[in-house]
Structure 1
Amino acid sequence: MSHFAIILPPLYSHIRSMEALALHLSGKGHRLTFIASPELITRDNPRISGCPSLPEAIAAAQQRFRDPAARTFFRIAGTLAGHTEALCRELPGLLKRLQVDGAIVDQMEPAGGLVCEYLGLPFVSAACALPVNREPDLPLPVMPFNYADDDTSRRLYAGSERVYDRLMQAHYRVINRYSRRFGLADRYRLDHCLSPLAQVAQGSVAFDFPRRALPDHFHYIGAFQSVDATPTPPRHPKPVVYATLGTLHGHHYSLMRTLARACHLAGVEVTISHCGGLDAAQVDGLYRNGAHRVESFVPQREVILQADMILCHAGYNTVLEGIAARRPLLVMPVAFDQPAVAARVTYHNLGRRVSRLATASTLAREITALLDDSHGVGNNLVQASQALREAGGAARAAAIAERALLSGRPVYRGTAQP
C-alpha cells in the first residue's frame, strides 16, 4: 500500500479534520505521515503518525503559528509567510527521505502544492475551512459580507479583495519566490496552488453562497468528522445551551462571562467549553455569573446532541456539527473566517448572528427568540443536515483522494463514491 504525507497548518481543528480523513485512508491499508510534531496527533493508529524527524525550521514555524499573538490581524500574514517559507525550504528533502507516494494538502498551506509540483508528486487539496477557491462576484471566505448579486455588492466584494491582497503581500511574496525557484508558472495566492487532480472540501452546496465556477474536480463532502445520522431533540426541564469560542479564542474570559450572564437571564442552563484558555479563578467567575457547567474540553458532538441550541464563535467545525445535529445556532464571530461562516448561517436561516460586543441582555433576547423558532430555523436545519449527510463525509473524501493519488488523473464530480 501507499505512503501519503499530510501537509497543513498546525491548527487544532484542521488537524482533527485531517485525522478523520487519515483514519479512512489507513483503513484501506495506506500509511499517513503528518508533517507536524508527533505530539499534535491524537490517533492511536500504527498507520497514522506525526513526523518523527521534523526539521527544526518547520518545528519553529509551527510553534510560532500556535502562539495567539502571532495570529493577530497585523501579524497573520508574516506568520503564514514564515510557515510557508520553512516548508518550501525543507519539504523537498523531507518528502524524499520519507519516501511518500503523494500528499494531501490543506488549502491553507500553499507550500504543499508548490513542493509536490516541483517533485512531480500527485497531491489532493483539502479545505477544512471555507474553500479559498475564488469566483467573480463572491466575497472572499475571510470577509463578513452577506451575499447579494447587485452592482453595489459586487463592487464591495471586488474592493475588499484588493484590500485583502495588499494586506497579504508578505505571504504572496514567499509563494511567488518559490514558484519561480521551483521552475513553476508564476503564482502568489492560495488559490493558485490547488490540486489539478481533486479538491475535497467540508460543507455542502446547501451551506455555501451560490457558486458558479468551481472546477469539475471540486467535491463538497459534508464533514470530515462523523455526524450523527439520526439526531433527536433533547428532553430537559430547562433548555440547555452549549457555548464555546473554540481553541483560538478560549482565553476571552470577559466574553465568556457575558455568555454565562446572558444564559442566566434567559433562564437556560449553559455548558461552557473554554478549550484550556482559562485559569481556575476565571472558571469560578463563570460559575458565579450563571454557568451550569464549565470544562476545558468536552466530547463536543455528544454535548451538542444533548443541547437545545449552540452559542459559538462561528468556527466552521462547530457550525457543521451543529447543523448535522439540527441545533439552532447563535453565532458571534471573532476573527478569521468566522464572520464569513456566520454570514452563511444567516443567509440560509440556520440561526441568528450577534456582535461579540453585545450586552448580556441583548444576547438573552436572541437566545429566547432562537429557542422560540418563530422564523422556521428548525425546518431549514433538517434540510441542511440531510445535505451534509448525503455528501458522504470522510469516507467519500478518502475514496476521492485515493483514486486521484493512485491514478494520477483528475477525479470529477459524481465519481469515486465510497
Structure 2
Amino acid sequence: MTHHALICPPFHSHVRAFEAIGGALLRRGHTVSFLLNAGGGALVEAGGFGVEEVGAVRTPCRSPGRNPAGLFGILRTVRASADRTRALCDGGPAILRRIGAEIVLADQMEPAGGLLAEHLGLPFLSVAAALPIDPHPSLPSPFLGWPYDPSPEGLKRNRGGERVSRLLLHRQREAIQSAAQRFGLRSRSRLEECLSPLATIAQTVPGFDFPRPPSPRHFAVGPFRSTEAVEIGGLVLPFARRPGVPLVFCSLGTLQGHRLSIFHAVARACRRLGWHLVVAHCGRLSVEQAASIDADLVTDFLPQRAMLALADLCVSHGGLNTALDAVEAGVPVLAIPIAYDQPGVAARLLHHGAGLRLARRRLDVDDVVAALRRLHGEPRFAARARAIGAEIRGAGGAERAAELVERFAASASYSRELALA
C-alpha cells in the first residue's frame, strides 16, 4: 500500500474534491495525508486522513477576500495565492519526508504540489478540481468568459489573453520561479509548467468542456463526490409547493455567498414570475441579511445534489461544482459569474446550450426574469443538461480517479525499480 500526499488550496470546494478521491484511496487500503496551508486543516471533515499544515494563518480559509472581482481584487487574490505557494514550498519538504509520502496528488491551481514532488523525486499526478488549465492555442484561459473560437481571430485573441494573464500573475510567477531555483529544478514561472508529466485527472467531462485535443495524459472522470455524501432524494422542503409552479435553487457557493444584491435581484425576479425560490448562502450572510431576501426558504447549507433533484432551474455564480451538480440533475443554469474560473464555466454552459449567462454588474431584475423564462420555457436547455448529466453519471468520478492514481503509482514505482537495477 502507498502513502499519498494531497496538496490543494485551502478552499472548501477543493478540499471536498480531494477528500472524495482520498476517501476512495483509503477504502483501497492506502494511507492518505493532506498537506495544507495553516488553517486549512479545519476544512477536512472526513475521518481517516492525516492532516499537516504549514505557515501562518493569513486569511479565513473560506474566504480569500470579500471582493476578488475587478483588477485590484485579482491582484490581491494573486498575491495571496503566491504567499500560500511560498509557505508550502518552505515547510513542505520536511513534512513530506517525515510522513513518508510516496506519491503526490497536486491541485492544478497550487503549483507547490508539482514543485515539491519534483524536488523530492516523487511521482505526482495533477488534479483539476476547477476547470483544467492544460494549455492549448484554441482554448481561452478558464478565467475568461470567452467563447470557443478556433478561427485565426479567436486564436489571436487567446494569445492576447495569455499575455495579459502573465502580467496579472506576476507575483505567482515569481513564487514559482524562486522555488524552482531554490530546489535546483529547471527554470519555470507558469502554473502549467508545474503540471504532472504523467497525467491530469479532471472533473469536467468532454460534454461539458470546450473541444479539447485528445491527450493520453488527460483523463476526464466527472465530479469528485464522496460516497458518504447525503443520498439524492428524500429532502423535504419546509413549504408547500404549488402544483405546476417552477422551483428555482440559488447558490453562490462558499466564497461568494455574501453577494446580497444578487440574491435580492433573483428573489424579486422569482416573485414577479410567481415561482418558488430556495436560497443557500453557505453561512456568508447574517441573520438580518438572510431575512431581507424574499424567498420561500433562505438557509446556510442544503444537501446540494438532493436540492437540485427537486429544482427546475439553478441560479449560480458559475462555480464548477454547482454547475456540474446541476447538469447531472438535468437542471439548466443561469450563471452570474464573479471571479476565478466562473466566467469560463459560464462560457461552457452557453457553448453546450445548458444555460444562460448574465453580468454581475448592474444586474437588472428584468434581465433575470427574461433569462429564467427562457430557461424554463425552451425545452432544449433541460435536454442539453440531461445529456451532459448522463455522461457525468457514466464517467466514474472519485472511484475512477482512485483507479487511475493506483495505475500511475504502480507504473512510476516500476520505472524507479528499473532505474535502480
1:240 aligns with 2:241: no
Counterpart CA distance in 1 for 2:150 and 2:143 is: 18
Amino acid at match of 2:344: A
User: Are residues 406 and 335 of structure 1, via their aligned partners in 2, closer, same or farther at CA, if it must alter by over 3 Å?
Assistant: same
2:11–2:61: 8 Å Cα contact kept in structure 1?
no
Residue 408 of structure 1 aligns to a residue in which SS?
helix
Aligned to 2:373: 368
Counterpart CA distance in 1 for 2:286 and 2:84 is: 30
Aligned to 2:92: 91
- CA drift of 1:319 comes to 0.2
1:330 aligns with 2:334: yes
- CA drift of 1:14 comes to 0.5
- CA drift of 1:191 comes to 0.8
Encode CA deviations 1:369-410: one digit per residue, 9 max, x unaligned.
Answer: 211125x11221222112112221111100001221233179
Amino acid at match of 1:406: A
Aligned to 1:388: 392
1:60 aligns with 2:24: no
Counterpart CA distance in 2 for 1:285 and 1:236 is: 23
- CA drift of 1:176 comes to 1.1
Counterpart CA distance in 2 for 1:64 and 1:394 is: 24
1:23 aligns with 2:59: no
Encode CA deviations 1:46-93: one digit per residue, 9 max, x unaligned.
Answer: x22422xx23x2x42565784415842221121111011111111111
1:10–1:66: 8 Å Cα contact kept in structure 2?
no
Aligned to 2:289: 282
Counterpart CA distance in 2 for 1:312 and 1:409 is: 43
Give the fraction of aligned pairs with identical amino acids, expressed as a percent: 36
User: Are residues 2 and 236 of structure 1, via their aligned partners in 2, closer, same or farther at CA, if it must alter by over 3 Å?
Assistant: farther
Residue 126 of structure 1 aligns to a residue in which SS?
strand
Aligned to 1:359: 364
1:38 aligns with 2:41: yes
- CA drift of 1:42 comes to 0.7
Which of 342, 348, 355 aligns to 1:344? It is 348
User: Are residues 90 and 149 of structure 1, via their aligned partners in 2, closer, same or farther at CA, if it must alter by over 3 Å?
Assistant: same
Residue 262 of structure 1 aligns to a residue in which SS?
helix
- CA drift of 1:231 comes to 9.2
Structure 2 residue runs of 5 or longer lacking an equivalent are 416-421
Residue 321 of structure 2 aligns to a residue in which SS?
helix
Counterpart CA distance in 1 for 2:337 and 2:98 is: 42
User: Are residues 410 and 398 of structure 1, via their aligned partners in 2, closer, same or farther at CA, if it must alter by over 3 Å?
Assistant: farther
1:197–1:409: 8 Å Cα contact kept in structure 2?
no
Residue 103 of structure 1 aligns to a residue in which SS?
strand
Aligned to 2:302: 298
- CA drift of 1:180 comes to 1.8
- CA drift of 1:230 comes to 9.6
Amino acid at match of 1:124: L
- CA drift of 1:236 comes to 5.6
Q: TM-score, normalised by structure 2?
A: 0.90
Aligned to 2:206: 205
2:12–2:62: 8 Å Cα contact kept in structure 1?
no
1:263 aligns with 2:273: no
Residue 4 of structure 2 aligns to a residue in which SS?
strand
Task: Identify the range of structure 1 (60-69 vs 332-341) with the bigger mean alpha-carbon deviation.
Answer: 60-69
Aligned to 1:415: none
Residue 60 of structure 1 aligns to a residue in which SS?
coil
1:24–1:394: 8 Å Cα contact kept in structure 2?
yes
Residue 356 of structure 2 aligns to a residue in which SS?
strand
Residue 39 of structure 1 aligns to a residue in which SS?
helix
- CA drift of 1:206 comes to 1.1
- CA drift of 1:229 comes to 11
Encode CA deviations 1:160-201: one digit per residue, 9 max, x unaligned.
Answer: 110110111111011112112212111111111111222100
User: Are residues 70 and 113 of structure 1, via their aligned partners in 2, closer, same or farther at CA, if it must alter by over 3 Å?
Assistant: farther
1:140 aligns with 2:137: no
Aligned to 1:414: none
Counterpart CA distance in 2 for 1:191 and 1:123 is: 14
Encode CA deviations 1:184-238: one digit per residue, 9 max, x unaligned.
Answer: 11111111111122210001111111112x5412100111116999999x98622
Encode CA deviations 1:102-130: one digit per residue, 9 max, x unaligned.
Answer: 11110100111111111011111100000
Residue 405 of structure 1 aligns to a residue in which SS?
helix
Amino acid at match of 1:204: V
Encode CA deviations 1:315-350: one digit per residue, 9 max, x unaligned.
Answer: 000000011110111111111111110000000000
Counterpart CA distance in 1 for 2:226 and 2:171 is: 37
Aligned to 1:219: 219
2:221–2:397: 8 Å Cα contact kept in structure 1?
yes
2:180–2:187: 8 Å Cα contact kept in structure 1?
yes
Residue 278 of structure 1 aligns to a residue in which SS?
coil
Q: TM-score, normalised by structure 1?
A: 0.90
1:61–1:86: 8 Å Cα contact kept in structure 2?
no
Runs of 4+ in 1 over 3 A off after TM superposition: 61-67, 226-232
1:61–1:82: 8 Å Cα contact kept in structure 2?
no
